[in-house]
Structure 1
Amino acid sequence: MLAHPAGTAYQLFAWGKAVEQAYGFRRVYLLAEDSGKVCGVFPLIDFRVPLLRKRLISLPYCDAGGILADSDAVAHALLDEALVSAREKGSDCLIRSVCPLSFAGNNQTEKVRMVLELPESSERLLAGLKSKLRSQIKKPVRDGLTVSMGTGELVPGFYQIFAENMRDLGSPVHSRRWIEAIVEMYGERIRVALVHTPDGTPAAAGILLLHSTTVTIPWASSLRRFNRLNPNMLLYWTFLAFAADNGFKRFDFGRSTPGEGTWLFKQQWGAVPQRLFWYEPKAAGEESSPIKEMEPTGPSKNRQLAAALWSRLPEAGANWLGPRIRKYISL
């Protein structure tokens, strides 16, 4: 999975292990071998929501999982085996991939991931940015903000910011146990960063996952009351500089909807959109149906109302209830 050119950090065994440890959903990883050599892998999670139909998902809680294979024939064989397993379990199958799978049906999302090709150093990266963006990067440092990078020791600070930010956005937060499991399972392939104001108050935080050539940022949060200090700009620059200076070739900013605010934020760094491919494949003879996510992907009055109500919850209440709901939202 590290050597495959289309591989992502999510497809490493660490992600599935963290899902199993934190939330109790079982891993169903399919491997294809040729003469004793692995030639394909299909990471899946047996995702079960009470009172709803079961699903084999590749993968939950992220943009992309999907099949990694040396050929279309191997990929097709892995998908066939997954559909057999799904049918035996009475489950649907849902694939989120960075690669098109022509034999899996029609792509059912317009989402993209924003990816930046990195130069060989942070110095060259900085020089290639527009002057306004360079000023926004330097301003937090001039104003006395500091940033630290580490791993597990920064989880408490990260989670404090993450939980408050998710509540303010009106969205249930993942459990702290989930974040701790991710950090534990990825080991040396993860970095946590924390930005502090001049008086030492945590203002922004993020997590970076390291693949062989590509780094991915699954979560980044900043607190609204510190927006004037631009801690988010310093956070992203810290990750980008780290990636460029450590020989990584690409920076994956994560999922966005073209034209929306997060898309524009990522585009300003030079990131370009790459389509995501989401499928709900069916075995021969089964009737196709559209993907139905527990978390809607587009704006709606009901969703906006739910988010507004959630953002008014006391933080302690949101942090207690949020993880109990978030576990069952696969996206």
Structure 2
Amino acid sequence: MTLRCRIMDDRDRAGWDGFVMAHPDGTIFHRAAWQDVIHTAFNQHPYFMLAERDGQICGVLPLVHMRSRIFKRNTLVSTPFCVYGGPIGTDGTVTTALIEAASALMRKIGANAFELRTIAPDLATSDWQAAPAIYDTFRKTIPLDDEACLKAIPRKQRAVVRKAIDLGLTSTIDRDWRRFFHLYAESVHNLGTPVFPARYFRLLLDCFGNDAEILTVFDNATPLCAVLSFTYKGEISPYYAGGGTAARGKGGHDFMYFQVMRRAIALGLDRFDFGRSKRETGPHKFKTNWGFSPTPLGYQYLLQPGAIMPDTNPLSPKYQRKIELWKRLPRPLANALGPIIVRGLG
């Protein structure tokens, strides 16, 4: 049977998503919807590549050509703005064919590098370079009972959650991306990070439908913090979160993640993906304090001759002064400039 690789078109969408759903390594970040989200929100060019035998899809590899003059970036990525990516196929021959086809695409479009975001670095050959060991991911099974889930949280964090419950904090599930954006924008500005465009969150909710939702925590009628989560294949992934300073003193974020766990239980989901965090950072410590064990992410690069590995890590010393300056910008100005900058990060 003939194996060939080609770029996905609109007629392939149902087959693509069906393959991702059926494949044990398929994640929410392999879904076809990312093609529309990334192109519309960030104006970056997607090349979602599939492999087929006799007209049947047998492998997929979501790709986006990320370009940025600000960061001197010209990289083919699987998948930007996502934790995971890389090829999935019915066998090693398929994944190898997808990698080779994508490598040829990198040369054709003039990209300097090809980045794969995989959980395990088992695809690299001698031509590939491992990315610096920056990120860990945090995933585990949770009990299918609210009380058992609460007891499974380590004692110190559990006490914060109980305090928030006693304070009378509440939560709601909806799709109010405007309210979410306000909380998220405040949070990232305090960190000195450029904010995503508001339309990005609207697109995530529109394109992923019932597999995306927002949970917001309230103190009486005041929103404290919120998180946009994905649900897929038995797993919930609280992916984007934000909140004001008032949330910290009331345990708002701890309460919020416990409510996400309760939401997973209500939906019959038993796995919790806490996403990736950079090592030696507050979020990384926060997740380990919740009883999650870090798993290194095996990101890797194929570089064109003479090219250097892209560096968009905000912990890099060259960005520290810029981060401090960004924190001082008026919020409206930061919200206006942020989307221009962040489109090249991903």
TM-score, normalised via structure 1 length: 0.91
Question: How high is the sequence identity, in percent, across the aligned residues?
Answer: 26
Task: Name the CA shift for 1:87/1:230 in 2 (closer, same or farther; >3 Å).
Answer: same
CA contact (8 A) 1:280 1:290 kept: no
| Aligned partner of residue 215 in structure 2, secondary structure | strand
Q: 1:56 aligns with which of 67, 76, 80?
A: 76
* Alignment: residue pair count: 322
Candidates 111, 118, 123, aligned match of 2:147: 123
1:1-331 correspondence to structure 2 within 5 Å: 1-50=20-69, 52=72, 54-91=74-111, 92-104=113-125, 105-110=128-133, 111-151=135-175, 154-198=176-220, 200-282=221-303, 287=305, 290-293=308-311, 295-300=312-317, 302-330=318-346
In structure 1, the partner of 2:4 is none
What runs of 5+ residues in structure 1 fail to find an aligned partner? none
> Which amino acid in structure 1 is aligned with residue 310 of structure 2?
K
Deviation (angstroms), 1:53: 5.5
Counterpart residue type for residue 197 of structure 2:
S
Q: 2:165 is matched by which residue type in structure 1?
A: V
2:121–2:300 CA contact under 8 A, matched in 1: no
Secondary structure of residue in 2 paired with 1:180:
helix
Matched-pair contact (CA < 8 Å) for 2:216–2:223: yes
Determine if contact 2:228/2:241 at 8 Å carries over to the other structure: yes
**1:259 Cα deviation from its structure 2 partner:** 4.3
Contact 1:109 1:277 in 2 (8 A): no
Alpha-carbon deviation of 1:57?
A: 1.0
Cα 1:323/1:213, change in 2 over 3 Å:
same
Change (3 A) 1:19 1:115: same
- SS of residue paired to 1:102: coil
Give how far 1:182 is off: 0.9
Deviations, residues 122-141 of structure 1 (Å, cap 9, x unaligned): 33212222343222112222
Distance 1:288 1:124 in 2: 55
Matched residue type, 1:291: M
Cα distance in structure 2, aligned partners of 1:53 and 1:164: 27
Query: Which is further off, 164-173 or 120-129?
Result: 120-129
Deviation at 1:206, TM superposition (A): 0.7
After TM superposition, give the deviation of residue 324 of structure 1 in Å. Answer: 1.0
Per-residue displacement from partner, 1:220-252 (whole Å, max 9, x unpaired)? 112123311111011111111112332323211
What is the CA–CA distance in structure 1 between the aligned matches of 2:56 and 2:345, rounded to whole Å? Answer: 35
AA at the equivalent of 2:75: R
Q: Deviations over 1:160-180 (max 9, x none)?
A: 000111111101000001111
SS, match of residue 256 in structure 1: strand
Are the counterparts in 2 of residues 114 and 272 from structure 1 also a CA contact under 8 Å? Answer: yes
1:290 to partner: Cα distance = 4.5
Report the Cα distance in structure 1 between the residues aligned to 2:296 and 2:307, rounded to whole angstroms.
Answer: 21
The one-letter code sitting in structure 2 at the alignment partner of 1:241 is R
How far has the Cα of 1:288 moved from its partner?
7.2
User: Any stretches of 5+ residues in structure 2 without a counterpart?
Assistant: 1-19
Q: Kindly tell me: are residues 266 and 166 of structure 1, through their superposed partners in 2, closer, same or farther at Cα, counting changes over 3 Å?
A: same
Structure 1 CA distance for aligned equivalents of residues 322 and 73 of structure 2: 24
1:6·1:98 contact (CA, 8 Å) conserved in 2?
no
Deviations 1:20-51 (A, max 9, x none): 12122222111112343322100001222248
Contact kept in structure 2, 1:112 and 1:256, CA below 8 Å: yes
